[in-house]
Structure 1
């Protein structure tokens, strides 16, 4: 049986990076393994679940929702028993899921607000992975990997749109460049020099790659490399910040 998996390749980086930055921030427990696998399966389940709102192929999408959702919930029960309050983060994700469902029902999956809500939902998983060890809802350091991930992936959204759907929109290009430059300046001015360095590759690729005849696949490959660089440098910042 061929697996039914999402086609949005960028979502995999959002699935992985915030979660494991949260682990680096809070420390690793064996409970992170069922939490991550459960989180992975939950993401896979939400893909066909959202497609149900298009009101097409309902039996097919329902089947795949259940195939992923049932083991996801069983695995998530393991860390839930240890930290019952972790369900709080799942509840935080619900409003963003509702927004995604709305845009899916309107066939506006590429809308910026839809992308933004997905980014926040993915990054909340990083808060959950850090909380699993700490048992504290909002310690000072838990916000850094969350905020860094949110603004990074928003930048990725601007960049990809400037390369594909908005490639002929000069105003959008300038807005994307200004956003990436502002991130570097803001992190540096805040004293997070290492974090500022993590955003420099994003700034350079936003400017240097603009107007290049890159395919969607090439754009995606470069984003994987950029995301890996971001993860490594932010991980270093987290370790030193601790």
Structure 2
């Protein structure tokens, strides 16, 4: 496989990678017994995301690329390969920890929702973005429980408050940069997230969530380039991970 083709197999939804990894890593290292099972679960989780991404792109492009069917078909092989690799990593885990099947079942409705939006070629819909956030943040609970913890709802809730806020915020920076409705909604969410996290999770979370609110207020409308927007979000996600590991 050429480097260009290999790169094309990797989903280009760059913002998704922090959402996929930060809750997982937080849950893993908040657990008393992180181990090899977490490495296998992370592999299954990321491979499953890649498989679902390509399957959804195939669904989306079947009609959009009707005159160029090879464009849609180009996603079938990655979907099959990633799906098989996900099964190879996930089946031994499910045998050893059958409760993981219940976790997968809980995530299924959200995967079905994002698949429906992909089929309708409406992947940029707000609800679609929020539907992707929930199972990603739920992986904190799964990873923590796999490592011998209970169900640490507080750090999972913090992840949910942060990553749900990135959905409207990023829209105010790129696709909806001129929308006052999205701007007001983003600021309102971040203000509520600051209040809720400080009041019910940890008062120290006022520090990162205060910074998230400040960036939601100050940065839209400044014409920042997409790479800089991404760099800011990487810094914010890293700050969230560090905060969770320090506070919980």
Determine if the TM-score, normalized by the shorter chain, exceeds 0.5. yes
When normalised by structure 2's length, the TM-score is: 0.88
> Of the candidates 56, 62, 67, which is equivalent to residue 76 of structure 2?
62
Match of 2:197 in 1: 187
Shift of 1:24: 2.3
Q: Is the 8 Å Cα contact of residues 31 and 78 (structure 1) preserved in structure 2?
A: no
Equivalent residues of 2:58, 2:73 under 8 A apart? no
Note if 1:50 corresponds to 2:91. no
**Equivalent residue in structure 1 for 2:138, among 116, 124, 137:** 124
Q: CA RMSD in A?
A: 1.6
Q: 1:224 Cα deviation (Å)? A: 0.7
Q: Say how many residue pairs are matched.
A: 234
Q: 1:99 to 1:212 in 2, by over 3 A?
A: same
Q: 1:84 aligns with which of 82, 98, 102?
A: 98
Q: Give, in whole Å, the separation in 2 of the partners of 1:39 and 1:20.
A: 12
2:68 matched to which residue of 1?
none
Structure 1 pair 161/58, CA: closer, same or farther in 2 (3 Å)? closer
Which of 113, 124, 131 aligns to 1:99? It is: 113
In the TM superposition, residue 70 of structure 1 has moved relative to its aligned partner by 0.9
Shifted more, 154-163 versus 126-135: the winner is: 126-135
Cα deviation, residue 134, structure 1 = 2.8
From 20, 44, 48, the counterpart of 2:25: 20
TM-score, normalised relative to structure 1: 0.90
The verdict on how the C-alpha distance between 1:220 and 1:31 changes in structure 2, with shifts beyond 3 A counting, is same
User: Which segments of 5 or more consecutive residues in structure 2 lack a partner in the other structure?
Assistant: 66-70
- Residue 41 (structure 1) aligned with residue 47 (structure 2): yes
Alpha carbons of structure 1 residues 72 and 182: separation in structure 2 relative to 1, 3 Å: same
